[in-house]
Amino acid sequence: MQSQIIDLRIHVYGHVSADPAQVAAAFNAQISEKAEAESDLAIFAIDPSAGIDQATIGLWQSLDEFQVPRLVVVTHLEKLEADFDDAVMIATRVFDQMVTPYLVLHDEAGMPAALIGLSSLNIIDYSTNPKTIKNCEEEHQTLVQEFREEYLELVEAAGDNAFCAGLLFPAIPLWIERGIGVDIVNEYIQQLTK
């Protein structure tokens, strides 16, 4: 599942509980403990059950002045006490306004199994091998309608290429072992190569 992008300078930040080393390995990136002004992308790994430490908040703020494109990956989704929505809420409070292009769908056992795209309303089912993409049902559309409207408003207000310009900050659910969100992060990385 290694990222195919090798010419970008990608740096991963985050407390050890969020497993930044695994995130760095998945996306051909380097772990950093200082704000890298020459970075093409900064990925901030967050473990929702551990919160966000002050050092990580300081690194995010340091990158503000350089307008480095940044995204947040929420790891450890398999922990039942961990919640993607709570992590995004905390990141919005201590970092900046986050956008959530995808929300997590859970299986019968309560484990993350799929993502629903708020732009397309497609469901990416990672419980199948290979993953399958299908249209969401009306029930799902109703459940995500409010989130979708908020997401689309934020994206429209930010304008085209806002992510690449370091002005729009996506938060992506990530469970590397199951492949959840890896493809989405790679799509954002691809945007930086255009």
- Mean pLDDT, residues 136-162: 94
Q: Per-residue confidence at 82, pLDDT binned at 50, 70, 90? A: low
Q: Give me the CATH code for the 10-104+148-191 domain, please.
A: 3.40.50.300
pLDDT value for 171? 98
The token pair at 43 is 């990925």
pLDDT(95) > 90 = yes
pLDDT(25) > 80 = yes
Which is nearest to 169 in space by CA: 29, 21, 63?
63
Q: Map out the domains of the chain as residue ranges.
A: 10-104+148-191
**What is d(CA 89, CA 192) in angstroms, rounded to the nearest whole number?**
26
